[in-house]
Amino acid sequence: MELFSYARVDNAAAAVKQVAEHEHAKFLGGGTNLLDYMKLDVETPKHLVDINSLPLNQIEVTDSGVRIGALVRNTELAYHEAIRQKYPVLSEALLAGATPQIRNMATVGGNLLQRTRCTYFRDTCWSCNKRQPGSGCAALEGYNRSHAILGTSDKCIATHPSDMCVALCSLDAVVETLGPQGKRRIPLNEFYVAYGTDPAKENVLQGNELIVAVELPNAGVYAHSHYLKVRDRASFEFALVSVAAALEIHNGKIAGVRLALGGVATKPWRATEAETALVGQAASEAEYLKAANVALQNAKPQKHNGFKIELTRRAIVRTLTELTAPKV
Ligand SMILES: Cc1cc2nc3c(=O)[nH]c(=O)nc-3n(C[C@H](O)[C@H](O)[C@H](O)COP(=O)(O)OP(=O)(O)OC[C@H]3O[C@@H](n4cnc5c(N)ncnc54)[C@H](O)[C@@H]3O)c2cc1C
Ligand code: SF4
């Protein structure tokens, strides 16, 4: 681990100023991702700005939705009554992630910016365009069973690892930030960028922008939602495939749907074409299968992860079928 300086701040403007003024500075949330990567020399910030004293740990329920402070811990969010009732997909996704101890520390802001678990990214012995732009991608020719099949480029095939973000993607969440130029509101579906030629650039944030909150809009469809995570072991494991879905059915027909995928794409993946294919159709397994095929029509498997196409297809059909089944 490289030497770094550390400061704790108690207001958001001071946090932004510190990060703007120091060379290669980073905000410190729960530290469960950043400190891991600092110990591995993958992240080498020169200055850490600890934001844990900022007043960003409230969950506010309003008529227009819910506003979640960036420092709300994953555990608190998962068990909040309004989240469980109105956005169950988010509660389920959070509880499917990591372990209770990690969820107790992990913040909403840090979860949004957690970095990939690609083995070659985590080990500085390997070439990795994301860690060291222009050095190549060891995963392309390596063991790529856990890697992405959607949104990949010839520079990087790493998956986005978060469960929470897949649920937020299905819930039309909006990220609020504060930077030297003031506040910004960024729809989550525009927050992450395609890798293209520079896999080190993962989102639209400027380096010195602080995430202050995430807002969820209010719509009936979100209350009937579900998260399915398929992984190699039942706990303490990242997704091979995950599906976040919300469904509104009127008279046997689909009136509204939200569908997002995790574990298979380079960013939390909103399956908008599949959603369009479903609206107005019968709420049936046959239609879910057709939509799953639409969602996967541009999937590009690597040498070891072709199984993810069929697994994702089945996971989509199962998630939507479980949402359709009457509650007993
Ligand atoms: C063993 C293990 C297993 C895990 N399993 C899962 C899993 O199954 N599913 C899953 O989804 N996740 C999993 N995780 C990841 C975990 O969810 C993340 O580590 C956590 O959400 C990161 O949040 P944090 O607050 O600790 O972030 P930090 O480590 O503090 O920060 C992460 C990044 O976000 C930046 N940052 C933090 N807060 C802000 C802010 N407000 N504004 C701007 N930038 C900010 C930091 O500078 C840093 O770059 C696992 C982690 C571990 C260690
Ligand atoms: S897949 Fe991306 S993160 Fe993994 S080695 Fe290749 S460039 Fe690096």
Give residue-wise pLDDT tens across range 125-176. 999 999 999 999 999 999 999 999 999 999 999 999 999 999 999 999 999 9
Q: Which residues contact 262 (CB under 8 A, 6 or more apart)?
A: 159, 160, 162, 163, 165, 166, 229, 239, 241, 242, 243, 244, 268, 269
Look at residue 11 and tell me if it is in a domain: yes
Specify the ligand 1 atom closest to the Cα of 211. Answer: 42
Whether residue 167 contacts residue 90, with contact meaning beta carbons closer than 8 Å, is answered with yes
Of 156, 160, 266, 305, best ligand 2 pocket probe by most atoms within 8 Å of the beta carbon:
156
Look at residue 43 and tell me if it is in a domain: yes
The rounded Å distance from CA 114 to ligand 1 centre is: 4
Look at residue 67 and tell me if it is in a domain: no
pLDDT at 23: 92
pLDDT at 328: 58
Residue for token digits 């990214």? 121
Look at residue 262 and tell me if it is in a domain: yes
Q: Is the CB of 152 under 6 A from ligand 2?
A: no
- The CA distance from 307 to 268, in Å, is 19
285 has a pLDDT exceeding 80: yes
Of the two residues 160 and 2, the one the predictor is more confident about is: 160
pLDDT tens for each residue of 230-263: 999 988 999 999 999 999 999 999 999 999 999 9
326 has a pLDDT exceeding 80: no
pLDDT averaged over every residue in the chain:
97
Look at residue 157 and tell me if it is in a domain: no
List the CATH number of the domain containing 44.
Answer: 3.30.43
Look at residue 200 and tell me if it is in a domain: no
pTM of the model: 0.98
Number of structural domains in the chain: 2
Q: Which ligand sits nearest to residue 127's alpha carbon?
A: 2
pLDDT tens for each residue of 161-218: 999 999 999 999 999 999 999 999 999 999 999 877 799 999 999 989 999 999 999 9
The rounded Å distance from CA 35 to ligand 1 centre is: 9
Look at residue 199 and tell me if it is in a domain: no
List the CATH number of the domain containing 317.
Answer: 3.30.390.50
The rounded Å distance from CA 223 to ligand 2 centre is: 36
Specify the ligand 1 atom closest to the Cα of 231. Answer: 8
pLDDT at 194: 84
Q: What is the mean pLDDT of residues 92-113?
A: 98
Range of the domain at 283: 224-324
327 has a pLDDT exceeding 70: no
69 has a pLDDT exceeding 90: yes
Look at residue 147 and tell me if it is in a domain: no
The rounded Å distance from CA 321 to ligand 1 centre is: 32
